[in-house]
Amino acid sequence: MKIYGVGDSSLCVEFGPGIDPRVNQRAIDLAGQLERLNLPEILDIVPAYSSVTVYFNPLRINRMNLSSRLRETMNLRLEGAAGSARSHKVPVVYGGGFGPDLETVAEMNGISSDEVVRIHTGTRFRVYMLGFMPGFPYCGIVPEKIRAPRLSSPRTRISAGSVGIAGAQTGIYPMESPGGWRLIGRTPLTLFDPKENQDSMFRFAAGDSLEFYSISEEDFYGWTNRLEL
């Protein structure tokens, strides 16, 4: 573990290199503990794959003091830090217009489209972090047999709910956007609803687990599109 500055108003606590569920959990736990402390000098707390970045007001707290505070917090190991993670089942229509890159992903890996779907639905993924846009879950780790690199030229428009693969990551676009991930399917679920209250606005949180299952096009259009938590 190391703590270092990022500019004059943030500190980053890094728990290790690479993408690892245990390292990621430590980052999520620290972020949760810091939130509970609710320090007025801290402006935002951003957990990522293997780190937590703390944004602070440098005129209100000295960075050395904050750094010690972060170390103390880590040593506290507050009760109930873990255990808030949830499991989600995510319905997806795979292939066709819903997942225009499914066949390419299959071809790149020398397997059939059905096999890609079987592996994608048969893997329990972890939400390592949210980023890119509100509610976008970065999930891993994608089994090697269905990995595919990002498109060399990103699409200018991707439909909300599109499920993509980028290397060892899989994710879901919560809203229409440009993007470079290979799209293998689409979910009818709403991932981010700004009209909801803050507690139920986002479907996923870092640390959650997520399993995909295959549905038909008919199911997709008949889906009651609401945030089911």
Q: Using CB under 8 A as the criterion, which residues of the chain lie in contact with another protein when the complex forms?
A: 4-10, 12, 14, 17-19, 31, 43-51, 53, 55, 58-59, 63, 129-136, 138, 175, 177, 192, 194, 198, 201-202, 205-206
217: left (phi over 0), alpha (psi -120 to 50) or beta: alpha
Q: Token digits for 229?
A: 């938590």
> What distance in Å separates the CA atoms of residue 163 and residue 13, rounded to the nearest whole number?
31
Nearer to another protein by Cβ, of 101 and 208: the residue is 208
Q: How far is the CB of 118 from another protein (least distance, A)?
A: 29
Q: What's the Rg (C-alpha) of the chain?
A: 19
Nearer to another protein by Cβ, of 200 and 225: the residue is 200
Q: How far is the CB of 9 from another protein (least distance, A)?
A: 5
> What distance in Å separates the CA atoms of residue 97 and residue 152, rounded to the nearest whole number?
20
Q: How far is the CB of 206 from another protein (least distance, A)?
A: 7
Q: How far is the CB of 54 from another protein (least distance, A)?
A: 9
Nearer to another protein by Cβ, of 17 and 110: the residue is 17
Nearer to another protein by Cβ, of 3 and 105: the residue is 3
